[in-house]
């Protein structure tokens, strides 16, 4: 069933305020207008100096919504892990995609993040009728209609759920990197440019395939 042409205007009005907690209002609006499956999409890992960009797409069950879902940045690691399990147990479909540092370096982080978002949507077992994308940009060649929702992880329950899934997965990936490359502190800073990380880069150099050589600190180190 097609979505009514008024969906963008109505969603824009919905995006004019931020609720106390992410809610299901945007998804419910789209469902009333004919979208049977609405997915939330978010990414993590745009800013780090190392590691992949990770995205997730989540289609929640309107009759079995997870409880306690919030913007992943406001949750502890333990809270995210517990909520990720609940989301996986209750959602109608979940998909995760990532692109490594080499792909990021070959283009740019924005393009890599958008490509990974599209991959996550493509990977959903249930084809969505509509996607709510966190941020200002809609991935090109998306297989469904979409709306870019600024601060979507604070507004939409589906986007917040995707944020939790993506953040929980990326943290696990960086913790594994810590095991393979001890001394950098990946399990603590998750690849971000902390003082510990920058000191380790100066002492031990960058890790090919893991560090993003197109990012400024790595470029500066390479010139020394």
Classify residue 31: in a domain, yes or no: yes
Task: Quick: pLDDT tens for 101-152.
Answer: 999 999 999 999 999 999 999 999 999 999 999 999 999 999 999 999 999 9
Task: Quick: pLDDT tens for 59-98.
Answer: 999 999 999 998 888 899 999 999 999 999 999 999 999 9
Classify residue 1: in a domain, yes or no: no
What gap in Å lies between CA 168 and CA 166, rounded to an integer?
6
What gap in Å lies between CA 34 and CA 154, rounded to an integer?
24
* DSSP letters spanning 3-54: PPTTHHHHHHHHTTS--SS-BSHHHHHHHHTT-S-EEEEEEE-SS-SBS-EE
Classify residue 134: in a domain, yes or no: yes
Classify residue 38: in a domain, yes or no: yes
Classify residue 118: in a domain, yes or no: yes
Classify residue 196: in a domain, yes or no: yes
Strand partners, 39: 59, 131
What gap in Å lies between CA 14 and CA 25, rounded to an integer?
8
Cα 24–chain centre separation:
18
Whole-model pTM: value is 0.92
- From the list 62, 63, 88, the residue with the least C-alpha distance to 166 is 88
Classify residue 2: in a domain, yes or no: no
What gap in Å lies between CA 106 and CA 119, rounded to an integer?
18
Please say whether the beta carbons of 160 and 40 come within 8 A: yes
Residues spanned by the domain of 56: 7-223
- What total number of domains does the chain contain? 1
Classify residue 86: in a domain, yes or no: yes
Domain of residue 97, CATH code: 3.30.420.10
């Amino acid at each position: 069933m097609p979505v009514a042409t008024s969906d963008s205007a109505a969603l824009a009005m919905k995006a004019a305020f931020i609720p106390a907690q992410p809610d299901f209002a945007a998804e419910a609006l789209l469902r009333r207008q004919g979208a049977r499956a609405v997915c939330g999409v978010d990414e993590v890992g745009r800013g780090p100096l190392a590691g992949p960009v990770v995205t997730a797409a989540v289609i929640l069950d309107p009759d079995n919504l997870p409880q306690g879902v919030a913007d992943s940045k406001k949750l502890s690691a333990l809270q995210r892990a517990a909520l990720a399990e609940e989301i996986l147990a209750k959602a109608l479909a979940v998909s995760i995609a990532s692109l490594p540092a080499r792909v990021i370096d070959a283009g740019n982080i924005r393009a890599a993040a958008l490509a990974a978002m599209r991959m996550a949507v493509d990977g959903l077992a249930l084809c969505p009728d509509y996607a709510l994308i966190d941020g200002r940009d809609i991935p090109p060649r998306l297989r469904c209609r979409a709306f870019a929702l600024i601060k979507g992880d604070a507004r939409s329950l589906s986007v917040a759920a995707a944020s939790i899934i993506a953040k929980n997965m990326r943290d696990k990936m960086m913790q594994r990197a810590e095991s393979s490359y001890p001394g950098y502190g990946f399990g603590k800073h998750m690849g971000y440019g902390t003082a510990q990380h920058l000191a380790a880069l100066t002492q031990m150099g960058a890790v090919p395939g893991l560090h993003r050589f197109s990012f400024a600190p790595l470029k500066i180190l390479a010139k020394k």
